[in-house]
Amino acid sequence: MEKNIFISIIIPLVRINDYFLESYPHLLSIDYENYEIIVLPDEPVPEDFQGIKIISTGRVSPAIKRDIGAENANGELLFFLDDDSYPEKDWIRKTLPYFKDQSIAAIGGPAITPSNDSFLQKVSGAVFLTKVGGGIPERYYSKGKTKEIDDWPSVNLIVRKSIFTKIGGFKSEYWPGEDTKLCLEIIKEGGTILYAPDVVVWHHRRPGLLRHLKQIGNYGLHRGFFAKRYPETSFKLLYFIPVFFVLYLCLFIVSLFFFSGLAYYLAFGFVLYAGALIYAFFDINGKVKDFKISLVSLYYIVLTHIWYGLRFFYGFVFVKELKSKLR
C-alpha cells in the first residue's frame, strides 16, 4: 500500500467535551500528511476547529454517526475512534503496512488506559488487563503477536472503505454491539481482521464503580442477546463463564439453607476462585506496577463477574429485541 494513501479518521460524539479537547492536539500532530478528521456531534458547533470537518447529525446512535462519517469520507481507510480516546503519533504509519496484504479488511489495536486517568479509572482499566477479569487483555494492553480476530471494539478499529461500503457499513441499531455486528459482516464477506499490537490508542476508563458496572452491564446485556442472535462470533464459552459463576453462587446460597452437605463440597469452588484472583493480582501488578490499583481491582473483578453474568443471562433468555434508543 502506498505511503501517501489518503486516510479518514471518524469520531462520533454527543458534543464537544473535555476528552475531545484533550484529543484534538493529538489528532493534529499525527505523523502523517494525507488525512482528514471527521467529527460528528449531535448539534452544530460554533467554535472553529482548524483541520477538522464537523458534521452535525442530530441525536442518533454512534453506529449511524459512523455511517454518516464514512459516507462523507474521502479516505481509502476509515480509522474509527471514540471521543474519549486519542491516538499515538505513529498510529497511521504503524497501520499502513498491514494493509499491503489485500486480503486484510480491517485492523484492531489495543486501547490503553492513559497515565493521567484517576485512580478509580485506572482500577476500571486494570480489570481488563487479565483474562480473569475481562477475558481479552490484548484489547487493553499491547501484547503478543499479530493474529486473526473475529470481533473488535470500534474505539481503535481501522476498516477498508471498499469493504465497509460493500457490507453497508455498520447499518446497525445496536449500541453497544454495533462493532461486533460489523466485524461479523466483514468475515461473512470473506475479509480478514487482524489484531495489531503496535497500533495503539489511549482510551479513558469509566470513573467510579457505578459507571464501571453500568458499562459492564451494557456489555453483558448485548453480548447475551448477540449470543442467540449472532452466535457465529458471540456464542462462546468465554462469554458464558460469568453466568456459570452467578449460577454457582445461587446454588451455594440455596445449599447453605437446604443442603448443608452439598454446600461443604461447593465451598471448594471458592478456593479455586480465590486462586484465580491471586493470579489476577500478580498479572495486573506486573503490568501496572501499582499495588493499590492491583488490589482494588480484585474487588472490581468480583462485582464485574456477577453483574456481567446477570445481565448476560437476562439478554440471552428474556430479551427478544435490543435496539438503541438513539435513532
For the CA atoms of 308, 309, 310, 314, the dihedral, rounded to the nearest 10 degrees, stands at 100
Largest interatomic CA distance in the chain: 70
Question: Residue 323: its pLDDT value, please?
Answer: 75
**Residue 203 phi, psi (nearest 5):** -135, 120
First to last CA, the chain: 37
Lateral strand order in the sheet of 201-203? 85-87, 201-203, 111-112
What totals of helices (H) and strands (E) does the chain contain, helices first?
11, 11
Question: Residue 262: its pLDDT value, please?
Answer: 87
Strands 7-12 and 77-81: parallel
**Cross-strand pairs, 135:** none
Question: Residue 324: its pLDDT value, please?
Answer: 64
Question: Residue 325: its pLDDT value, please?
Answer: 61
Strands 156-160 and 53-54: unpaired
Q: Domains of the chain, with CATH numbers?
A: 7-205 (3.90.550.10), 214-317 (no CATH)
Digit-by-digit pLDDT tens for the chain (327 residues) are 556 899 999 999 999 999 999 999 999 999 999 999 999 999 999 888 889 999 999 999 999 999 999 999 999 999 999 999 999 999 999 999 999 999 999 999 999 999 999 999 999 999 999 999 988 999 999 988 999 999 999 999 999 999 999 999 998 777 778 999 999 999 999 999 999 999 999 999 999 999 999 999 999 999 999 999 999 999 999 999 999 999 999 999 999 888 888 888 899 999 999 999 999 999 999 999 999 999 999 999 999 999 999 999 999 999 998 876 655
The pTM of the full predicted model, rounded to 2 decimals, is 0.93
Q: Which of 179, 211, 204 is nearest to 304 (CA)?
A: 211
List pLDDT tens digits, range 101-144. 999 999 999 999 999 999 999 999 999 999 999 889 999 999 88
Question: Residue 47: its pLDDT value, please?
Answer: 80
Angle between helices 209-229 and 178-188 (to 10 degrees): 30
